[in-house]
Amino acid sequence: MAVSVRVEKIKVFGDSSVVICQTQGKWKTKDKKLKPYQVYLEKVAKCFKEISFEYLPRDSNRFVDALATLASMVECDSRDKIRPFLVENKTSSTYGEPVNLLTEDGRPWYVPIVDYIRERRYPKHFTEGKRRHLQKHATQFILQGSLLYKRSYDGIQLLCVDEEQAQTIMKEIHQGICGPHMNAKMLAKKILRMGNY
């Protein structure tokens, strides 16, 4: 895309130390499958007056994720005029309040649903309105032994997970040098497709 709109100077960020070190010439490409890509990259790099490659550790790749998401939403044509855009680095979180994954007594978020399905018991502090909401909301869930599943619109039963399990699932989805660059919404969709809620 950058070549098609005649970009002259480009700075490439990557979270794969192997790929970046190979493009910088610090490491040599030995894998036969990767050599054609290396040759092609060197050919494309000659199209720019100035090009640099910088390694960005995976835990610092929020900017890369944002750019990848932005690039996937924009269609470019060689006749388009390039307009620079300003990127502000935010130091505070987007959401004012954290998502509450624990109940008041420190148990996982889904415990009131499990208690209602098993024993038709409501948390003590629930008002009449909250009780009606829980009663209606619980119809979307199935309890199988100690595991709670949520019925999805497409018929897949989604396993309800606690905060620790959710962190493990997110790490597994993002792990590896070829892990996807996706925004939070896409990550949530992928987790749902894998059968977790």
CATH number where 65 lies: 3.30.420.10
Of 47, 73, 99, which residue is a domain's last? 73
Question: 147-151 and 157-159: which strand pairing?
Answer: antiparallel
Is residue 82 in a domain? no
Distances in whole angstroms, Cα of residue 136 to Cα of each of 100, 110, 113, 139? 20, 14, 10, 6
Which of 86, 93, 95, 83 lies closest to 62, judged by CA? 93
Is residue 79 in a domain? no
pLDDT at site 91: 65
pLDDT at site 49: 92
Is residue 104 in a domain? no
For residue 17, the enclosing domain spans: 9-73
How many CA atoms does the CB half-sphere of 91 hold within 13 Å?
A: 0
pLDDT at site 50: 92
Residues 66 and 132 in one domain: no
Please state the domain count of the chain: 2
Is residue 15 in a domain? yes
Is residue 39 in a domain? yes
Scored b (16 or more CB within 10 A) or e, 161-180 reads beeeeeeebbeeebeeeeee
**Average pLDDT, 10 consecutive residues per value, the chain (197 residues):** 85 82 82 83 89 80 70 71 67 52 72 89 88 89 88 81 82 62 72 74
pLDDT at site 90: 64
Is residue 167 in a domain? yes
Is residue 99 in a domain? no
Residues 64 and 136 in one domain: no
